[in-house]
Structures are given as C-alpha cells and as structure tokens.
Amino acid sequence: MDVFAIIVILVIIFLLIVIIRSVCIVPQAHVFVVERLGKFQDEWETGLHVLVPFVDRIAGRVSLKEKVVDFKPQPVITKDNVTMQIDTVVFYQVTDAKQYIYGVERPLAAIENLSATTLRNIIGEMELDATLTSRDVINTKITSILDQATDRWGIKVNRVELKNILPPREIQDAMEKQMKAERERREKILQAEGDKKSQVLVAEGEKESQILRAEAKKQAQILEAEAEKQAMILRADAVREQKVLEATGEAKAIEMVQQALAESLVKLNQANPSERVIQLKSLESLAKVADGKSTKIIIPSEIQGLAGLAAGIKGVMSDSDK
C-alpha cells in the first residue's frame, strides 16, 4: 500500500469523525446553547441537529428539569441578638437557557449567596420566638425575593424551605426548661379544670337528685290525697247508699204496714162485725194507746164510759213519773 492510499484512508476516517461529531441529538427536557465563532448562535431543543465543523460549538447543555439544592447551614442573628444556624433547601428551574449560560458565572453559588444574605436580612428583623414559629412567613419572603433576583439569570425559584433551625445549646436548654414548665402548667390547669368539672357534675347530680326526691314526694302526696279523696267519696257513697237502702226499707216497711192495715180494714168491713166486736176492738186499741208514754188520751164518746177508769189510772201514773 502506497502513501497516497494511506493518506486517503486517513482523510476518510477524519471526515467520518468530523461528520459524526457534527451530528448532535438533544434529549428531552434539555436545551443546548450553540455559539458560532464565539458568538451566540441558537438554542437547540429536543431533536436532531448538525453543527458546522470548526465553526459552531456547544457552549452549554442546560436541563429544564426542576432541581433541588440543599445549602449548608448559615449563621444568622435575630433581632434579640441570638445567633443560630439555619440551612435552606431551594427548588429552582431554568426557564431561559441563554440567560442561564450568559447571565451569571456560577448560578448555584450565586443562588446560595443570595439566599444566605436574604435569610440574614429577614431573620434580623425577627425575634427568636417569632423565627421559630414563622417558618411559612420566612419561606414565602425568601421565595419571593430570590425569584425576583434570579429572573434575569433565566432561573425561576419555585420554593424555598427552612430545613433546620439550630439555636445555641444554652438557648435550647432554656427552651426545653420553658416548655417543660409550660407543660407542667398546662397539666395543672387541666387537672384543676377536671376537678372543677367533677365537682360541678357532683353538685348538679345532687341537685337533680334532690329535685327528683322532691318531685317523688310531691307525687306521693298528690297520690295519697287522691287516694284519700277517693276513699272519702267511696265512704260517702256507701253511707248514702246505706241510708237510701234504709230509707227504702223503712218506706217499704211502712208501705207494707199500711197495706196490711188497709187489708185488715177491708177484711173487717167485709166481715160486717157487730157492735160488740167493734167495742171490743176499741178497748184493745185503747189498751195499746195507754201503754205508750203520752199523758193525754182522747177517747171516743162511745167508749168513754168503759175507758174512763183506764184513762184516770194512766193520768195518775204519768204524773207520778214526772
């Protein structure tokens, strides 16, 4: 093989290498910044692209994915002169590849320094207690300031989080003692409130019990009065019924006696008694009348002669009784 053939082969291999290196594939979610003769030429997005050999070059390969950067703790001083360590986590995303390449020399270092200074400014206006309880406020302020500052660099800060807040050891001990005292105070308060509620419940229970006993006693008295009333009504009804029955019996007895007398008179009239029989019945009736407690006797004229002696004797006996 002569020298010419070797040169041709080498030239072909060189051309193949140049062609292969000139073909560029941009992956998804990436942007390539291309310079031509040292000057910005174009931004290549996802797809197949070809470089002009010895003229174009890729100045930077930029990922458009959101990135998370955890910066080391930064010393900050609060408004009440307490020094503590705070480390932050920044979530950012490149939105303009050209500005990201040409806007700042070291973007991550710039973001770190900017977040540190912004954090010191914000914490310097707050006291320790407010710093420990206002993480959301601090996160929002830092995010807003960093987003505005990094906008000219083609970077958008989506979120900033305070990862750890580490006050000095003596401050931590004092806070632990304070929290312990606060927990003990809350425990005593809760215990006192529990005792108070227990006493209130006991008093309310006793009150309800007394009310129920009074109501029961009242109901018992009402029922007793009702029972006594019903008993009196029943007794009165019984007495009334008894009197009615007695009166009815007496009335029936009188009626029967009168009926018997009437029947006897009827029978006597039907028998057509003689004069002597009538006088004899009169004497029998006079004897019954004289046997009573009356002091005066009216004797029919027909029997005055026969009854004169009996009436005189009756009068003498009545006067002697008086």
**Domain-located, residue 100:** yes
pLDDT band at 16 (very low <50, low <70, confident <90, very high): confident
Pair (95, 161) in one structural domain = yes
Closest CA to 90 of 167, 166, 131, 149: 149
CATH number for the domain spanning 92: value is 3.30.479.30
**Domain-located, residue 257:** no
Residue 65 has φ and ψ, to the nearest 5°, of -75, 155
pLDDT beyond 80 at 272: no
pLDDT digits (tens, 9 = 90+) for 79-96: 888 888 888 999 999 999
pLDDT digits (tens, 9 = 90+) for 94-124: 999 999 999 888 888 999 999 999 999 998 8
**Domain-located, residue 51:** yes
Pair (51, 143) in one structural domain = no
pLDDT digits (tens, 9 = 90+) for 140-187: 999 999 999 998 899 999 999 988 888 888 877 877 788 888 888 888
Q: What is the pTM of this model?
A: 0.52
Q: DSSP letter at 174?
A: H
**Domain-located, residue 99:** yes
Chosen domain end from 47, 63, 79: 63
pLDDT for residue 91 = 94
pLDDT digits (tens, 9 = 90+) for 287-314: 655 555 554 555 555 545 544 444 444 4
Residue 186 has φ and ψ, to the nearest 5°, of -65, -35
Contact 3, 29 (CB under 8 A): no
Closest CA to 123 of 147, 110, 141, 109: 141
Which residue range forms the structural domain that includes residue 322? 281-322
pLDDT digits (tens, 9 = 90+) for 42-85: 999 988 888 888 888 898 899 999 999 998 888 888 888 888 88
pLDDT band at 12 (very low <50, low <70, confident <90, very high): confident
Pair (102, 159) in one structural domain = yes
Pair (51, 86) in one structural domain = no
**Domain-located, residue 14:** yes
